[in-house]
Structure 1
């Protein structure tokens, strides 16, 4: 069964041909085709095991003529027809490495969802020719995941540290506010245990969070 997080990723897919990098069971690729968000999809992975799982999902949904398994390292050797790329279920640093070694073009649309190092990924994207159009947070199995809607077009905006830490153009809904509240709680628990300079930084961050969720 497809998770709440993966369904949220599918909701933002729009194009002709999808590449799901690190596809696992190909749930995203199959769901995107079933919902007619793309006509064709490639379930991509560096290992044969996940592709065997993907093939079972493809067959169970009778999508053998629209979803195809591709054994590849990251985004290497993707067909030219791919115009939407999903990279999810891995850390921000791993996503950076995949993008760093990829052949990119401005028509590509990216949906990225790191499970850690989101701030580092945002900084990488903005400094390497990407624009983050919007973000949203999804709560799934007691964890908050950011989902980033990106294009390979140079960004013309400047962002402060708060945006890099918590989201660029985030949808300010309940999951976003819930994530900010959890971060506020974490920083407050550290106030009495850190040096003065760090405490001042945390107090400023807590104040920014309170303004954001007000």
Structure 2
């Protein structure tokens, strides 16, 4: 089966034979992909909305995986089973992912987290640092005009610099072609915005200049 490049990247972070919970599963395609490609044997797919969960149920039945994927109508980690070893939260804003995790910090201490925020990525990294969690891998991809960052997180402590919070500690080390492409594009965007702002927007200008200087150092 075919899934998006974004979901393929998320799937690549899953270790073999983990028991996975996919939070906000939508159509259930990620869980189906993981099982059909023999990355995992079974898992759980949850969503807080009945509509997407019904779509997921149809897809699970279509692929004959009723005995492999258990569907849960659940908000966040409320109904997570004790046997789950890896939690995936993908396609949400960084603040929402942080909120889901903060509501059940005691439940995630011994779990591997695979997180893919669509927005507010630095906010999520800061949350990770402040809650005895550690980023052990990151990747960045480009699909359909958007950049997506995926991170693998486990229990641990790390102190991130403001640059590592902004860019990603592992992404900074890798400095992939897509990473450089993203920040070259952002640099040009910020320069363009700056030329159009007058002195009435002093606060915004200072913020943009701060971003520009940070990008200049690491490109």
TM-score if structure 2 supplies the norm length?
Answer: 0.88
- C-alpha separation between the residues in 2 aligned to 1:108 and 1:209? 32
**What is aligned with 1:201?**
210
- C-alpha separation between the residues in 1 aligned to 2:175 and 2:214? 18
Matches within 5 A, 1:4-153: 4-14=5-15, 15-102=17-104, 103-151=106-154, 153=155
Unaligned runs of 5+ residues in structure 2 are none
Q: Which of 100-109 and 14-23 deviates more?
A: 100-109
Whether the 8 Å CA contact 2:190–2:208 is kept in 1: the answer is no
**What is aligned with 1:182?**
185
**What is aligned with 1:169?**
170
- C-alpha separation between the residues in 1 aligned to 2:123 and 2:87? 20
Unaligned runs of 5+ residues in structure 1 are none
> 1:154: how far off?
2.4
TM-score if structure 1 supplies the norm length?
Answer: 0.90
- C-alpha separation between the residues in 2 aligned to 1:105 and 1:21? 13
RMSD value over aligned CA atoms? 1.8
Q: Which of 178-187 and 42-51 deviates more?
A: 178-187
- C-alpha separation between the residues in 2 aligned to 1:28 and 1:203? 36
1:199 to 1:132, Cα distance in 2 relative to 1, 3 A: closer
1:118 to 1:199, Cα distance in 2 relative to 1, 3 A: closer
- C-alpha separation between the residues in 2 aligned to 1:66 and 1:74? 21
1:189 to 1:78, Cα distance in 2 relative to 1, 3 A: same
Q: Which of 49-58 and 97-106 deviates more?
A: 97-106
Partner SS state of residue 149, structure 1: strand
**CA deviation string 1:131-168 (max 9, x = no partner):** 011211111110001111111x1223x22212111212
Aligned residues: 208
Whether the 8 Å CA contact 2:183–2:215 is kept in 1: the answer is no
- C-alpha separation between the residues in 2 aligned to 1:206 and 1:18? 36
- C-alpha separation between the residues in 1 aligned to 2:59 and 2:51? 13
